[in-house]
């Protein structure tokens, strides 16, 4: 269960507890027990308990929004492509590069769009694109789809974006393996 949802549930449970089980008789707040004993709560303690419930709620909302933001960033990465002629970044659906005027043919665009849809479906639940997930994508292109160009692309991203990655030796080995097949 994501942390944000857990924090919201904890906030809700604490709020229900404070509303339901804290009694107020003649200005004295107390928690009744099954054994007849009462635990008295001061006004400041009651106020602090509500502040904690509010902080849990705010932390839960913040965490959920951050997760959504990270997921949107990942999807936005898949919404762009590099022009093969000038290497500038353009929208994925673009048929003509706005920088150099390179025109994509329809078959090339349809193939790229199909690959992108498959890739997004496979990695729909990615929260953050890390080196391991990129390595998995590269593996899929290299061994399952035999698209060495895309596999190289993702392996190069790992080398560039994650220079301290624990998988760098593996990345280098796979790049050498693909260069021997080309």
Residue 84 structural domain: 79-126
The C-alpha atoms of residue 19 and residue 15 are separated, in whole angstroms, by: 6
Indicate if 54 and 85 belong to the same structural domain.
no
The pLDDT of residue 142: 81
Domain final position from 108, 126, 144: 126
Beta partners for 30? Answer: 23, 40
Residues 10 and 36 occupy one common structural domain: yes
Give yes or no: residues 107 and 62 share one domain: no
Same domain flag for 161 and 180: yes
User: What span, in angstroms and rounded, lies between the C-alpha atoms of 27 and 65?
Assistant: 39
pLDDT given at position 147: 83
Residues (pLDDT < 50) of the chain are: 126-128
User: Cα angle vertex 123, ends 117, 124, to 5°?
Assistant: 80
End-to-end CA gap in the chain: 44
Question: pTM to 2 decimals?
Answer: 0.44
pLDDT on residue 175: 87
The closest alpha carbon to 75, from 128, 115, 145, belongs to 128
| Per-residue pLDDT, 124 | 55
Q: What confidence score (pLDDT) does residue 11 get? A: 93
Do 21 and 40 fall within a single domain? yes
Q: Which pLDDT score, from 0 to 100, does residue 127 have?
A: 44
102 and 52 belong to one structural domain: no
What is the tally of structural domains in the chain? Answer: 3
Residue 67, burial from CB neighbour count under 10 angstroms (0-12, 13-18, 19+):
middle
């Amino acid at each position: 269960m994501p942390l944000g949802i857990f924090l919201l549930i904890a906030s809700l449970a604490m709020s229900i507890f404070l509303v339901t089980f804290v009694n107020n008789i003649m200005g004295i707040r107390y928690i009744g027990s099954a054994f007849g004993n009462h635990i008295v709560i001061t006004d400041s303690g009651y106020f602090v308990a509500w502040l904690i419930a509010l902080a849990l709620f705010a932390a839960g909302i913040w965490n959920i929004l951050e997760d959504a933001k990270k997921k949107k960033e990942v999807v936005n990465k898949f919404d762009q492509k590099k022009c093969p002629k000038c290497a500038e970044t353009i929208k994925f659906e673009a048929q003509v590069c706005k920088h150099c005027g390179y025109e994509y043919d329809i078959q090339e665009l349809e193939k790229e769009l199909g690959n992108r849809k498959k890739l997004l479906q496979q990695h729909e639940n990615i929260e953050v694109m890390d080196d391991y997930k990129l390595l998995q994508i590269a593996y899929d292109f290299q061994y399952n789809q035999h698209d060495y160009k895309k596999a190289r692309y993702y392996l190069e991203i790992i080398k560039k974006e994650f220079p301290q990655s624990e998988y760098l030796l593996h990345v280098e080995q796979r790049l050498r393996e693909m260069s021997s097949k080309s």
